[in-house]
Amino acid sequence: MIPTQNMFLIFFAIFWGTMVAALHRWKPFQLPLFLRFYPATMRVLWSIVIFNIIPLVYVAVILEILSKSGADTSLSGFQLVLRGVVPAFAAFGFYRLWLGVVEIFPDLFLAKDEKTVAQYNPPAKDSVPTEPYQDMFKLDRINGILNVFYAIVYIGVALGIPLLMA
């Protein structure tokens, strides 16, 4: 591997870990309720696409683009950072895309209220809810649209910089 590929992988891993830390309350991979509770099933499927399949393809594409630069010996430090670090910011774009679609279509991914959740996943006495529902969040369709827009910006810039510098 060449330096820009190494930089990309290191920063992508750091940014990915930061992004994943923000997901806990949304329970994107609620596998115990998969195929038992429609909103959880849809969230799991959407999460597999956005957090597994698309990033895997993205990383492969970026590594291929970065490999075209050879040994990077002629690049300045600034150019190395631009080519190696900027593409890693796409990790935040995947999160924004996931969140935006959930905000735009909450009925598809989240139960309406705690009572609906309790029918499929009864909580233990005096416990916190184990399945998120719409009333837990301030969901706003406009925010969802903005999140999708910013996801496109994040991913577009992250993909565009190495392509332009190739």
Q: Where do the structural domains in the chain lie, given as residue ranges?
A: 3-118+128-165
The answer to whether 84 touches 7, Cβ cutoff 8 Å, is yes
Could you give the CA distance from residue 8 to residue 82 in angstroms, rounded to a whole number? 10
DSSP 3-state assignment of 40? Answer: helix
pTM > 0.85: yes or no: yes
Other Cβ atoms within 10 Å of 68 Cβ, number: 10
Phi, psi of 111 (to 5 degrees): -65, 155
Q: What is the mean pLDDT of each run of 10 residues along the chain (166 residues)?
A: 91 96 93 92 98 98 87 74 93 98 97 83 65 91 98 97 86
